[in-house]
Amino acid sequence: MNIVHISAECYPAAKAGGLADVVGALPKYQNMLGHKASVIMPFYHNKFRSSNTFKNIFSGYARMAHATYIFNVLVPEKIELGYDLFMIDIPGLFDRENIYSYADDTERFITFQIATANWLCAWESKIDVVHCHDQHTGFIPFMLSKIWDYRKFENTPTVFTIHNGEYQGQFTFDKLHFLPPFHSFFNGLVEWRGLINPLASAIKCAWKVTTVSPGYMEEISNFMSGLEDLLKAEREKCVGILNGIDTEVWNPETDPMLDFNYGLENADEGKQAAKDKLCKQFNLDPEKPLFAFIGRLVKEKGADILPDAIYNALTKFENKLNVLILGSGEHFIEQGLLNLEGPFRGSYSSFIGYNEKLSHEIYAGADFLLMPSRVEPCGLNQLYALRYGTVPIVRRTGGLNDTVIDIGDGGFGICHVHSSTADVMQSIKRALKFYDLKQKFPKNRKLMMQIDHSWNKAASEYVELYKSMK
Ligand code: ADP
Ligand code: GLC
């Protein structure tokens, strides 16, 4: 099948979170199954741009509101990703470093979608399925099925994956003219509760809608920040498919970001070597268990409870543990985490920022990974932790609930019910006891490393879904 993925992020070209990891891996695994999967994304002026060379394969223009933007389609040269990567360069809108968080994000991503659809019209090969990811590509299913310019795709199946239902991209009707012209008869297909909402539009117009875990699919049928009723109405065409991980990138045996690679045979030495390095770098004690958090410092991830939970844990458990944080996000959380450094020097440290290499080193060197998420559609961190032999401590929600079984239930991780200081403290207490079981703890490590979360299964599930639309 000829599968086209459209996304704002794709690793290694541009990453803000798990969306990039998914879009950077799923097409590769679909190609391994014998299909032809490719990715279309914006061309940001970031590190990937400055460290690669690109070939221009197409030039066109996209009209958005009263402006006309010239765009170019670039492909990276001399880099083997396992799929074709097409990057839409739109000067004036995407010649900036970051992916999101600009005042004109609505204009930027609508223009990206228009440019993408315009370019798709020029394709000679038949496209079997257009697979869009998250709200930044949410108008594509509507545009391809209802807008005259794109009528060529009227019968082309579209799939929309909700990676995160909290981000909906809605805006007011005075900006309706940002979209290409269409009959007002179709206004209802872009609208939800009085606003133009790309996520709602995608749920209405895509042939199939997926979320990134079955558990999250159940949850959002009951609550999705205002879209739950819509999802209930469209439930028939929705399915939860659990994400996989790219086991070629996330493999402690070959990971080039680690100084010391390790597999099942030398897991204990490998993890200790990684821990020693981290402890040296962050002034922590390698003799004590290392608890880590990696991720966006936002409420959704439960990061706002971390300062309080860590303060209490380090006070109550008399410095029996180390804690290391890697993340960035809301200022008050960053500040709360930085404030702990003085009082707990030697057993606590934080790196506020984004650092891919450090994240690999932490998955390898930590003993436990904290994930007190309030919302977690899938979560990849716990899957990376498992692969690197690190015990995930998770709140029972969404994909975390689908992938982590508590040690008390014959599993390998530690689960709690609430995103609260008390629950995190209780889990840390259990973790400290577990760490002291000198036979069971290393045995569990090896067990976790063998759990198969590779993309093989999910890549086939998506293909089956595509076939069901033929
Ligand atoms: P989300 O996409 O909601 O942020 P996921 O668990 O799906 O959550 O994926 C997060 C991804 O981003 C993982 O690859 C994780 O390692 C990475 N990540 C998050 N924050 C950072 C950071 N500060 N530095 C490096 N990698 C990070
Ligand atoms: C989103 C979700 C996260 C998921 C990721 C990849 O960012 O918040 O839980 O793992 O997408 O699907």
Q: For residue range 129-146, list pLDDT tens digits in order.
A: 999 999 999 999 999 999
- What is residue 354's predicted lDDT score, i.e. its pLDDT? 96
Query: 295 in ligand 1 pocket by Cβ < 6 Å?
Result: yes
**Residue-averaged pLDDT of the chain:** 97
- Tell whether the torsion through CA atoms of 259, 263, 267 and 271 is positive or negative: positive
DSSP 28-53: HHHHHTT-EEEEEEE--SSHHHHTS-
- What is residue 51's predicted lDDT score, i.e. its pLDDT? 97
Query: What's the pLDDT tens digit per position in 421-446?
Result: 999 999 999 999 999 999 999 999 99
- CB contact at 8 A, 1 and 128: yes
- Reduced to 3 states, what is the DSSP secondary structure of residue 13? coil
The CA R_g of the chain, rounded to the nearest whole Å, is 23
Q: Which atom of ligand 2 is nearest to the CA of 373?
A: 9
- CB contact at 8 A, 145 and 153: yes
Is the bond into 256 cis (omega within 30 degrees of 0)?
no
Nearest CA to ligand 1 atom 14: 18
- Please give the domain boundaries of the chain with CATH numbers for all domains: 2-246+456-467 (3.40.50.2000), 267-452 (3.40.50.2000)
Residue 319 has pLDDT above 90, yes or no: no
Q: Which atom of ligand 2 is nearest to the CA of 380?
A: 10
Closest to 451 in 3D by CA, of 313, 264, 316, 210: 264
- What is residue 318's predicted lDDT score, i.e. its pLDDT? 81
**Of 9, 19, 462, which is best to mutate to test ligand 2, by the most ligand atoms within 8 angstroms of its C-beta?**
19
Query: 17 in ligand 1 pocket by Cβ < 6 Å?
Result: yes
Query: What's the pLDDT tens digit per position in 355-398?
Result: 999 999 999 999 999 999 999 999 999 999 999 999 999 999 99
- CB contact at 8 A, 6 and 133: yes
The beta-strand segments (E) located in 330-367 are 348-352
Q: What is the 187 CA–ligand 1 centroid distance (Å)?
A: 36
The beta-carbon contacts of 236-239 under 8 Å, at least 24 apart in sequence, are 237/206, 237/207, 237/208, 237/209, 238/208, 238/209, 238/210, 238/211, 239/208, 239/209, 239/210, 239/211, 239/465
Q: Provide the pLDDT confidence category of residue 470 given band limits of 50, 70 and 90.
A: confident
